[in-house]
Structure 1
Amino acid sequence: MQALNDLLLLIDSYIGSHLWFVLLLLGTGIFFTIYLKFPQIRYFKYAIRIVQGKFDKDDDEGDTSHFQALTTALSGTVGTGNIAGVAFAVHLGGPAALFWMLVTAMFGMTTKFVEVTLSHKYREKAADGSIAGGPMYFMQKRLNVKTSSGKTIKTGYWIAAIFALATILSSFGTGSLPQINSISNSLFSTFGIPHMITGLVLAILLGFVIIGGIKRIAKVTSRLVPAMALIYFIGAMAVIIFNYQNIWPSLQAIVGDIFTGSSATGGFLGATIAFAFNRGVNRGLFSNEAGQGSAPIAHAAAKAHEPVSEGLVALLEPFIDTIIICTLTGFVLLSSGVWKDKQDNRFQLADLQVVNTIAVSDQTEEGRQQLAAHINGEAPLPLFDGQLTIKDGKVGSPVIFIHARSLAEEVIVKQGGKLYNGKLQVDNGDVVVKDQKMTLFERIKSQFSHSGNNKIVIEGKSLIHSAPLTAVAFTKSWFGDFGKYIVSIGLLLFAFSTAISWSYYGDRAVTYLWGSKYVIWYHFIYVIGFFIASFVDTTIIWTLSGITIALMTIPNLFGLLVLHKEMKTDVKLFWKEYQERFPEEKGVPKN
């Protein structure tokens, strides 16, 4: 598992985690914001009116209403990014990462407006009568190249095919795998429900929902999204108000660390400016998906007689998803202070290293700098290689454990719930236990037998991240431990609805590439992958997710930039029609 994670990290370092990708993403949003004269501000009130049906016509063609398209797209974006993703960004980059998430969302409002408008314009009717749309359709029709001799080279088809393949991959990397992984981790830590049981039950439910197609998906998500938002909002505000004295220090930390990076505090070993910027933008994209090209697939099914009105509806998504919900989560984490505190937890082996020294401590400035340099790859410490002797759960060798980018404390090794006595194999810093070497069938079998409770686990105190960190933060209010249940229930609704929506995105990509007859096979694989991810290490899932997001985003942004003039023309035509239909309104934008 560690070798696989290392390979994925290497790939991601050249794509999604590289500075050029971050600059491309933000640069596209900034370009369109200036080019279209800040539509996220000037058009905001009109977007709300259109969601309410003000611009509709009785003969508008489509499968869903504006509101259903908005909630379907929101259910695809409001998920683990808002609960686990924000916690992961703050865990990696400190408070400043939240600032960069908000900046990404601000410009992302414009990017989503553009991508949904262009995709809706070129939607088609599939062979089964349903509406099919998305960036692959405008790419195929508008990104072809004409040579000087007048010959057309079908570059648009190949760009569209790359995007569609990336969409299928991202439906697993964004919509299926990290969602169920976060759900199962949260339910296990809160209620003690085995990961595989959670995966099995929800995989069956997922299968029943997605077989019904976009109309059933829209019906389910239009009810889930408002309910889960209300539950989450109440729990988050309880934490923030309970810790009101930390609101101003939290704001100072967010703004103060932008140009300095976050200093080491508690178990947190610090983060550079570049790392906070990169992680904030990266997790911001994972949260609101602006520029990724996913939301246009849902909005393509909306009833509308022209595309810009649906683009305006989509403009609201990053505002709701990131500027409101992610900000709430960020303030919960910072005001409660749990993001820098070590917690009791069971270590994930893909996130664990054994270092061959005991001379380094996080209690001194020198030690914190050494540990930070090791974690960032600047000055690696010597890794342990060989066998550790474990007696009554304690490690006898002179080593330290690094887990979740922090120095682990009070490390205990257990087997079957009892203190372990024996040897623990470590290969170049990576702990190897029998469970890692199991085949998938053996791992499933062990979950439902006595042997599943007999595996070796390592526990102790360290920083935590993702959904478990948010769950701990929610306990720091009047609700106490009940706050964990709010996160678990909220995450269950958030993440499950995201998995539902992304199954639709993937099946539209399959329809584009191979036709609707292959969608049933895609659904089958999607549900199986959903089940398997319920018991795989979170670290690997998040790394895979970053890669698939980048592979989908790059061709989409390229297409948007190429069609910038067409976008501006369509916007002008929309406002002209709007003024003709509602001549009594004053101050309507002209472009």
Structure 2
Amino acid sequence: MKKSLLSLFALLLPLLNFAQEAEKGLDEKVNDAFMPIAVWWEGFILTTVPIGEYDIPFVVILLVCGALFFTIFFKVPSVTKFPLAINTVRGKYDEIEGHSAEEKVAVNIVDGDLPDTIRDESQEGEVSHFQALATAVSGTVGLGNIAGVAVAIALGGPGATFWMIVCGLIGMSTKFVECTLGVKYRDVGEDGTVYGGPMYYLSKGLKERGFAGIGKALAIIFAILCVGASFGGGNAFQSNQAAVQLSSLMNLEGGSTGIIIGFILSVLVGIVIIGGIKRIAKITEKIVPFMAGIYVLAALIIIFANFSYIDDAFGLIFKGAFTPMAGLGGLVGVLIVGFQRAAFSNEAGAGSAAIAHSAVKTKYPASEGVVALLEPFIDTVVICTMTALVIIFFNIDGTNLQSVFEYGAVEGSNVMITATGEQLGGVDLTSRAFDSVIPGFSYVLTIAIVLFAFSTMISWSYYGLQSWKYLFGKGKTADLVYKILFLLFVVIGAAATLDAVIKFSDAMILALVFPNMIGLFFLFPKVREEMAKYLSAIRGSKE
């Protein structure tokens, strides 16, 4: 394995040198073609609703109201169900599932209006609670936590961090609901392969409620948007920031550098995604803990190194949350920035993670629902907060709370201008912040960034492929067409600018909220029923 990686790196260097010397303009041409689409789509999805003196994107209203409703209805599951989630993911209740890790399992499906239970004759496509969580977390814990937080602070200042945390906490309830439904209404193919996600609970669940036509329409809309989201936030954004970090580290500025890096990434991603969910799960359960461990450890070192400024940092976060800087529309402006970035980071309400969780080995859908609520906590409450603190510490110098840059992005972009006139944004800013305390860490961070990007891309390829299968059937030809398109967007993302990619990616992820949240509002009573069954089974096992 090590020899293969060294060989790949040996091939990479001459390719990158060629890219640096190539005629400038190829990356720019890709970006020029991509930018108008990104701007139009972002404007369409972020259509605002006038509330008082503010124009608030309707999708943000839907996310916040939905998450608050589920938090209240299910009695704050982010707190009350947190111990249950930990115990479930570590396997404490495996005995009530009636199977061990190697045994075949019974899975619930819904055929038409009648629930039935079948025995799966194959292990294909089925994963453990931990593997399902790792696969889903790898789709959410990505560059949104590294570059996305930097973008949030660039746009909304430190106060945006507070609203990201709030969004993460209440988003745990939404994730619980959508992932429980994902398992309840999943399909199992003749070969035992599991197919699940909002496409299935929208069509089957709403049919049960007497809205078959609406459910089918919403399922198709969701599937189309999820394919687009897999190309955008789950792919192009990841390859873009990985390419930026690699180019910066290796001091490459050629006009085709992004194309070359994107091509190499697409080859690596292509090798993995051919294997399907089982291979993806095996890769992510190893990569996710490793890369998260590196990143969290480095963040903790910086936090403890700057512990004397911890009160100043949180002071900026709380003060900025309620008395934000001018130019953002006041409190609501910075709240919107925080919620948008958190939604992009943890995807609660988008329904995408339910696709990965649907493949879990369980006969109690709620068991995976409680496991899923850990995602926004890990992703947003823990990792995003750590990133924000590292960036804020980077900008603190003694009593001067803005020594490197002034909070607030350059108008029309997602970057900030430093005191020396340098533009920093996304992964560049986060990398510089880490390097300021741990010299040379940018090299380690580059590895972590590439792993973050890689794991997110392979997880999102699975989400997009499941949606593609729902639309075009489950044949091998349809699979191949999707995978080629997915790999093409790896290259496009690496070549485009951060501004173009993040506009497109934001809009694609947020677009999923519309069909998904409509379904959740109709189907949440089913989640209460499934939760009661799971808790009853746990109580029965203790008697």
Please give the range of the TM-score, normalised by the shorter of the 2 chains: 0.7 to 0.9
Q: Which of 274, 281, 296 matches 1:233?
A: 296
Is 1:26 matched with 2:89?
Answer: no
Give the Cα separation in 2 of the matches to 1:581 and 1:146. Answer: 33
Is 1:196 matched with 2:245?
Answer: no
The structure-2 alpha-carbon separation of the partners of 1:270 and 1:296, relative to structure 1 and needing over 3 Å to count, comes to closer
Cα contact 1:95–1:262 (8 A) shared by 2: no
The structure-2 alpha-carbon separation of the partners of 1:15 and 1:129, relative to structure 1 and needing over 3 Å to count, comes to farther
Measure how far apart 1:210 and its partner are.
Answer: 0.1
Q: 1:398 is matched with which residue?
A: none
Q: Which amino acid aligns with 2:195?
A: A
Q: 1:13 is matched with which residue?
A: 46
Q: Which of 333, 339, 344 matches 1:286?
A: 344
Cα contact 2:203–2:212 (8 A) shared by 1: no
Q: Structure 2-normalised TM-score?
A: 0.82
Measure how far apart 1:136 and its partner are.
Answer: 1.0
Q: Which of 61, 65, 72 matches 2:128?
A: 65
Measure how far apart 1:29 and its partner are.
Answer: 1.1
Q: Which amino acid aligns with 1:171?
A: S
Is 1:141 matched with 2:201?
Answer: no
SS state of the match for residue 362, structure 2? coil
Q: 1:355 is matched with which residue?
A: none
Give the Cα separation in 1 of the matches to 2:392 and 2:329. Answer: 15
Q: Which amino acid aligns with 1:288?
A: N
Cα contact 1:342–1:464 (8 A) shared by 2: no
Measure how far apart 1:19 and its partner are.
Answer: 3.0
Give the Cα separation in 1 of the matches to 2:339 and 2:169. Answer: 11
Q: Which amino acid aligns with 2:69?
A: F
Choose between structure 1 and 2: higher strand proportion: 1
Cα contact 2:418–2:424 (8 A) shared by 1: no
Q: 1:429 is matched with which residue?
A: none
The structure-2 alpha-carbon separation of the partners of 1:213 and 1:157, relative to structure 1 and needing over 3 Å to count, comes to same
Q: Which of 70, 76, 80 matches 2:143?
A: 80
Cα contact 1:232–1:487 (8 A) shared by 2: yes
The structure-2 alpha-carbon separation of the partners of 1:408 and 1:66, relative to structure 1 and needing over 3 Å to count, comes to closer
Q: 2:520 is matched with which residue?
A: 560
SS state of the match for residue 424, structure 2? coil
Gap regions ≥5 residues in structure 1: 264-268, 344-361, 363-367, 377-402, 411-460, 584-591
Q: Structure 1-normalised TM-score?
A: 0.75
Give the Cα separation in 2 of the matches to 1:221 and 1:24. Answer: 31
Q: Which of 263, 267, 273 matches 2:331?
A: 273
Q: Which of 493, 496, 515 matches 1:536?
A: 496
Q: Give deviations 1:243-289, integer Å, cap 9, x for gaps.
A: 223211110011112221136xxxxx877322211110010011111
Structure number, greater radius of gyration: 1
Gap regions ≥5 residues in structure 2: 1-31, 50-54, 107-122
The structure-2 alpha-carbon separation of the partners of 1:486 and 1:270, relative to structure 1 and needing over 3 Å to count, comes to farther
Q: Which of 171, 176, 192 matches 2:235?
A: 176
Give the Cα separation in 2 of the matches to 1:7 and 1:472. Answer: 32
Cα contact 2:259–2:494 (8 A) shared by 1: yes
Q: 2:458 is matched with which residue?
A: 500
Cα contact 1:96–1:262 (8 A) shared by 2: no
Q: Which amino acid aligns with 1:334?
A: I
SS state of the match for residue 37, structure 1? coil
Q: 1:50 is matched with which residue?
A: 88
Q: Which of 321, 337, 354 matches 1:296?
A: 354
Give the Cα separation in 1 of the matches to 2:194 and 2:88. Answer: 20
Q: Which of 496, 512, 520 matches 2:470?
A: 512
Q: Give deviations 1:464-517, integer Å, cap 9, x for gaps.
A: 21100100100121x22x121232111111111000000000111111111122
Q: How does 1:121-520 map to 2 (within 5 A)?
A: 121-126=184-189, 129-144=192-207, 154-193=213-252, 194-262=257-325, 272-337=330-395, 375=411, 404=414, 461-477=421-437, 479-480=438-439, 482-517=440-475, 518-520=478-480
Q: Which amino acid aligns with 1:274?
A: V
The structure-2 alpha-carbon separation of the partners of 1:407 and 1:124, relative to structure 1 and needing over 3 Å to count, comes to closer
Give the Cα separation in 1 of the matches to 2:467 and 2:304. Answer: 44
Cα contact 1:342–1:462 (8 A) shared by 2: no
Identity %: 38
The structure-2 alpha-carbon separation of the partners of 1:153 and 1:562, relative to structure 1 and needing over 3 Å to count, comes to closer
Q: Which amino acid aligns with 2:238?
A: Q
Cα contact 1:243–1:336 (8 A) shared by 2: no
Query: Which stretch has the larger CA shift, 216-225 or 44-53?
Result: 44-53
Query: Which stretch has the larger CA shift, 269-278 or 13-22?
Result: 13-22
Cα contact 2:39–2:503 (8 A) shared by 1: no
Give the Cα separation in 2 of the matches to 1:491 and 1:153. Answer: 43
Cα contact 2:185–2:205 (8 A) shared by 1: no
Q: 1:98 is matched with which residue?
A: 161
Cα contact 2:226–2:512 (8 A) shared by 1: yes
SS state of the match for residue 279, structure 2? helix
Q: 1:393 is matched with which residue?
A: none
Cα contact 2:59–2:513 (8 A) shared by 1: no
Q: 2:15 is matched with which residue?
A: none
The structure-2 alpha-carbon separation of the partners of 1:520 and 1:261, relative to structure 1 and needing over 3 Å to count, comes to same
Choose between structure 1 and 2: higher helix proportion: 2
The structure-2 alpha-carbon separation of the partners of 1:3 and 1:130, relative to structure 1 and needing over 3 Å to count, comes to closer
Measure how far apart 1:406 and its partner are.
Answer: 5.5
Give the Cα separation in 2 of the matches to 1:78 and 1:303. Answer: 23
The structure-2 alpha-carbon separation of the partners of 1:155 and 1:578, relative to structure 1 and needing over 3 Å to count, comes to same
Give the Cα separation in 2 of the matches to 1:130 and 1:40. Answer: 31
Q: Which amino acid aligns with 1:175?
A: G
Give the Cα separation in 1 of the matches to 2:220 and 2:46. Answer: 24
The structure-2 alpha-carbon separation of the partners of 1:9 and 1:552, relative to structure 1 and needing over 3 Å to count, comes to closer
Measure how far apart 1:197 and its partner are.
Answer: 2.8
Measure how far apart 1:317 and its partner are.
Answer: 0.8
Q: Please give the root-mean-square deviation of Cα atoms over the aligned residues, in Å.
A: 2.5
